[in-house]
């Protein structure tokens, strides 16, 4: 299974962008999907994630109330609606998926819990 992210681009502060991540094929073993980001000179950090079954949606504190993660079962994809964007949201955004047992809550925000990664899409927010 391969992940393909799309939707990045440039926007002014306060604007919106929508990222999408599609899996190349349906995998019954995918238990969670999410988004991470890496800003220049910084480590990769968690943004948002959801479990594919059993519920559970998680957000990094700085994006709560601004970003919305959602899933599209028919398209084997997830989306990240990003509103009220800030310059500090500028980063390469990576889609990730976990194949295997459903992750526990503490794992959802850890990049090492995910074993499939997309190629990254750049989001640039200007002030």
Whether 61 contacts 47, CB under 8 Å = no
73-120 pLDDT per residue, tens: 887 899 999 999 999 999 999 999 999 898 999 899 999 999 999 999
35-59 pLDDT per residue, tens: 999 999 999 999 999 998 778 999 9
Residue 114 is predicted with a pLDDT of 95
Between CA 127 and CA 64 the distance in angstroms is 20
Of the listed ranges 12-21, 54-63, 72-81, the least confidently predicted one is 72-81
Q: Does residue 30 have a pLDDT over 80?
A: yes
Q: Does residue 26 have a pLDDT over 80?
A: no
Q: Read off the pLDDT band of 29 (50, 70, 90).
A: confident
| Token pair listed for 123 | 């989001």
C-alpha distances in Å from residue 79, one per residue of 7, 49, 65: 9, 10, 16
Q: Does residue 24 have a pLDDT over 90?
A: no
Residue 55 is predicted with a pLDDT of 82
């Amino acid at each position: 299974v391969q992940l393909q992210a799309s939707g990045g681009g440039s926007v002014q502060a306060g604007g919106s962008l929508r990222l999408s991540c599609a899996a190349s094929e349906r995998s019954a073993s995918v238990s969670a999907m999410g988004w991470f980001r890496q800003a220049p000179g910084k480590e990769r950090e968690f943004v948002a994630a959801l479990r594919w079954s059993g519920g559970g949606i998680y957000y990094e504190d700085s994006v709560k109330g601004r970003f919305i993660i959602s899933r599209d079962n028919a398209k084997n994809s997830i989306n990240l609606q990003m509103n009220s964007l800030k310059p500090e949201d500028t980063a390469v955004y990576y889609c990730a998926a976990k194949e295997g047992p459903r992750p526990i809550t503490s794992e959802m925000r850890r990049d090492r819990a995910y074993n499939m990664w997309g190629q990254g899409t750049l989001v640039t927010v200007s002030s």
